[in-house]
Structure 1
Amino acid sequence: MNILDDFITINPNGIYCKYGDFYLDPQQPVQTAIISHAHADHAVSGNKEVYCTQPTKEFMYLRYHRSAAQAFNIAGYHQPFKIKDITLTFVPAGHMLGSAMILMEYVGVSYLYTGDYKIQPDATCEPIEWVGADVLITESTFADPNIIHPNPVNEIKKLNSIKSNILLGAYGMGKSQRLIQMINQFAPQKKVLVHHKIMPINQIYERLGFKLGKYQLYGRKMMKAQDEFVYLVPPFTFNSYIKAVGVKRLFASGWNNLQVNQNDTLFISDHVDWNDILTAVEKVKPQQIWTLHGNGRHLKEHFGYNIVVKILNQTQ
Structure 2
Amino acid sequence: MILDDFVQIDEKGLYCKYGDFYLDPKLPAKTAVITHAHADHAVSGNHDVYCTRPTASVMQLRYDRTAAKVFNIVGFNESFTIGRVTITLISAGHMLGSAQVLMEYEDTRYLYTGDYKLQPDDTCEPIEWVTTDVLITESTFADPEVIHPDPVAEIQKISSIKTNILLGAYGLGKSQRLINLISTHAPQKKILVHHRIMPINAIYQKLGIVLGPHQIYGRKLMKVQDEFVYIVPPFTFDSYIRATGVTRLFASGWKNLQVNQRDTLFISDHVDWNDILETIARTQPKQIWTLHGDGRHLKAHFNNDIFVKLL
With normalisation by structure 2, the TM-score equals 0.99
* 1:7 is aligned to 2:6: yes
Deviation at 1:262, TM superposition (A): 5.2
Any runs of at least 4 consecutive aligned residues in structure 1 with deviations exceeding 3 A, and if so which? none
Name the aligned partner's letter for residue 210 of structure 1.
I
Q: What is the rounded CA distance, in whole Å, between the counterparts of 1:16 and 1:224 in structure 2?
A: 51
Deviation at 1:83, TM superposition (A): 0.5
Q: What is the rounded CA distance, in whole Å, between the counterparts of 1:100 and 1:121 in structure 2?
A: 16
Structure 1, gaps ≥5 residues long:
none
Name the aligned partner's letter for residue 71 of structure 2.
F
Q: What is the rounded CA distance, in whole Å, between the counterparts of 1:264 and 1:171 in structure 2?
A: 19
Give the corresponding residue for 2:268: 269
> Does the 8 Å contact 2:24/2:33 carry over to 1?
yes
Name the aligned partner's letter for residue 221 of structure 2.
M
Name the aligned partner's letter for residue 162 of structure 2.
K
Deviation at 1:193, TM superposition (A): 0.4
Deviation at 1:114, TM superposition (A): 0.1
* 1:182 is aligned to 2:160: no
Cα RMSD between the aligned structures?
0.8
Give the corresponding residue for 1:151: 150
Deviation at 1:265, TM superposition (A): 3.0
Give the corresponding residue for 2:90: 91
Q: What is the rounded CA distance, in whole Å, between the counterparts of 1:256 and 1:18 in structure 2?
A: 38
Q: What is the rounded CA distance, in whole Å, between the counterparts of 2:154 and 2:215 in structure 1?
A: 23
Helix, strand or coil at the partner of 1:125: coil
Deviation at 1:263, TM superposition (A): 2.5
> Does the 8 Å contact 1:253/1:265 carry over to 2?
no
Give the corresponding residue for 2:228: 229
Q: What is the rounded CA distance, in whole Å, between the counterparts of 2:261 and 2:93 in structure 1?
A: 26
Q: What is the rounded CA distance, in whole Å, between the counterparts of 1:300 and 1:111 in structure 2?
A: 19
Give the corresponding residue for 2:101: 102
Give the corresponding residue for 2:292: 293
> Does the 8 Å contact 1:110/1:134 carry over to 2?
yes
Give the corresponding residue for 1:62: 61
Deviations 1:1-35 (A, max 9, x none): x1000000000100000000000000000100000
Aligned pair in 2 of structure 1 residues 26, 231: CA closer, same or farther (>3 Å)? same
Helix, strand or coil at the partner of 2:2: coil
Q: What is the rounded CA distance, in whole Å, between the counterparts of 2:281 and 2:150 in structure 1?
A: 21
Deviations 1:52-98 (A, max 9, x none): 00000000011101000011001000000000111000000000000
> Does the 8 Å contact 1:251/1:264 carry over to 2?
no
Deviation at 1:260, TM superposition (A): 3.7
Q: What is the rounded CA distance, in whole Å, between the counterparts of 1:57 and 1:213 in structure 2?
A: 24
Give the corresponding residue for 1:279: 278
Give the corresponding residue for 1:248: 247
> Does the 8 Å contact 1:253/1:259 carry over to 2?
yes
Deviations 1:202-251 (A, max 9, x none): 00000100000100011111111111100111111111111111111111
> Does the 8 Å contact 2:249/2:259 carry over to 1?
no
Q: What is the rounded CA distance, in whole Å, between the counterparts of 1:105 and 1:162 in structure 2?
A: 51
Q: What is the rounded CA distance, in whole Å, between the counterparts of 1:192 and 1:33 in structure 2?
A: 37
Q: How many residues align?
A: 311
Q: What is the rounded CA distance, in whole Å, between the counterparts of 2:155 and 2:224 in structure 1?
A: 23
Name the aligned partner's letter for residue 109 of structure 1.
T
Helix, strand or coil at the partner of 2:300: helix
Deviation at 1:257, TM superposition (A): 2.8
With normalisation by structure 1, the TM-score equals 0.97
Give the corresponding residue for 2:161: 162
Name the aligned partner's letter for residue 82 of structure 1.
T
* 1:21 is aligned to 2:20: yes
Structure 2, gaps ≥5 residues long:
none
> Does the 8 Å contact 2:249/2:258 carry over to 1?
no
Q: What is the rounded CA distance, in whole Å, between the counterparts of 1:122 and 1:131 in structure 2?
A: 20
Give the corresponding residue for 1:213: 212
Q: What is the rounded CA distance, in whole Å, between the counterparts of 1:215 and 1:208 in structure 2?
A: 17
Name the aligned partner's letter for residue 114 of structure 1.
T
Helix, strand or coil at the partner of 2:292: strand
Aligned pair in 2 of structure 1 residues 261, 297: CA closer, same or farther (>3 Å)? farther
Identical columns (%):
69
